[in-house]
Amino acid sequence: MTPFRVVVADKIAREGLGPLASDARFEIVERPGLKGEELAAAIADADAVLVRSATKITRESLSRATKLKVIGRAGVGVDTIDVDAATERGIAVMNAPAGNTIAAAELAFALLLARVRNVAAADRSMREGKWDRGALGGTELYRKTLGLIGAGRIGSEVARRAKAFEMRVLAYDPYLSEDAARAMGIELAPLEQVLREADAVSLHVPLTDQTRGILNAERLAMLKPGAILVNAARGGLVDETALVEALKSGRIAGAALDVYEQEPLPADHPFRSLSSAVLTPHLGASTEEAQLNVAVEIAEAVRAALLEGDFSGAVNAPLVGGERLQRLRPLLDLATRLGRLASVLVDGAVTEVAMLLR
C-alpha cells in the first residue's frame, strides 16, 4: 500500500502528529511557510494538508490538488481556507474545535480582568517610575452582568469562570436550549437585551456571513456607558471604526481585544493609541497545552478520514460518523459495487442514476 502523503504546511507541534507519524501508512512532509505557486506545488500530490492560521488555502492553492481528500485545520476557525473551493473539488475541510477551548476561555477572562483592574496601564506606569494608585482604580466583577454572544464550547467555559466570580451571565445564543442554559446557570436573552444590560460583553461566535459585523455602530451604541467589550474570537465580528469612535468618545469604558480585522495589526492602527484598550496579538490558542491538543485532535481526525472514511468532523459535509457510519457502511459498499458494475455494463459515462423504491 502506498502511504498517504500528508503535507504539514504550518508549524504544528510535532509530538501532536503522533497518530499519523507513528503509522507507516502515512508519509509526513513538513513544508511550513509556503505561499502561492510553491504551496500549490507542495500539495499537488498530497492526500491531506494540515495548517494552522498562518497559511491560507485559496482556490489557487487547490488548482493542482488532484489527490487531496482532506484539509485539516489545527484550530477552530476556517476563515483562512476557501471552503467553497474545497467543497467544489470534493475535499473535506476539518478543524479541531475542542483542543484550544480552555486556552481561549482563560485568555478572554484574563483580558476582562486586565481591563477592569487597569493591569496593563498600571504595568506601563510602574515601568515609567510612577506610583499612580489614585489614577488606576478599577471596578469589581462581583455581581456584575457578563453578556455572552455565543455560549458554545468556549463561551460556556467563560461562563463557568464568571459564575466563580459570582457574576450574572446573560447570553445570546440561538442554538442553546433553555434546559442547557439553565444547567450552566446562564440566562438566555435576545441580542439587544444582552447588549443593554451587560457590564461586560464577550464574543464567542465563529466568523460567518451571518456574524460578520454583528457588533456594528448601531449595536455598539446599545452598550452601557461603562461597559467593557472583550473579543478573543474573530476580528471581523466588530466594526472597528465604530469601536474606535465609541472608545474615543468615552461612549463605552473600554475594550480588550485579541483579534483584529487585519492581522498583524497595522502599526498605525488607532487601537494602538487608545489607553482604554488592552491589546494582545491573537494569543487565544497560544499555550503549550492547546497547541499539543489541537495537533493531536486534527491528526486523529485526518487519520480516521483517510483510513476509515469517517468525515464526521468535516465542516463542509453532512454529519455522518460513529455508529451511524458503521450502520451505513454496507449500503455505501453496495453503492460502490453497483457503480463499478454499471461502469462495465454501459457504454460511455454514467450520467444519471434512478432508484426504484418498493
β-partners of residue 279 are 257
The question of whether 234 is a catalytic residue gets the answer: yes
Nearest to 48 by CA among 80, 88, 20: 20
Q: Environment class of residue 136 by beta-carbon count within 10 Å: exposed (0-12), middle (13-18) or buried (19+)? A: middle
DSSP string of 143-155? T-EEEEE--SHHH
Q: Could you tell me if 229 and 252 are in contact, meaning their C-beta atoms sit under 8 angstroms apart?
A: yes
Q: How many CA atoms lie within 13 A of 10 on its CB side?
A: 20
- Residue 171 backbone dihedrals phi, psi, to 5 degrees: -130, 145
Active site residue 251: no
Catalytic residue chosen out of the listed positions 37, 178, 192, 263? 263
Active site residue 282: yes
DSSP annotation string for 133-183: TGGG-----TT-EEEEE--SHHHHHHHHHHHHTT-EEEEE-TTS-HHHHHH
Q: Given the residues 73, 204, 219, 234, select the one marked as catalytic.
A: 234
Distance CA(322)–CA(326), nearest Å, equals 7
Of 18, 10, 14, the C-alpha closest to 303 is: 18
CA-to-CA dists, residue 257 to 109, 158, 228, angstroms: 11, 15, 11
For residue 104, the tally of other CB atoms under 10 A from its CB is 27
Q: Which of 17, 92, 22 is nearest to 32 (CA)?
A: 17
Residue of 52, 161, 219, 282 with catalytic role: 282
**Residues identified as active-site:** 234, 263, 282
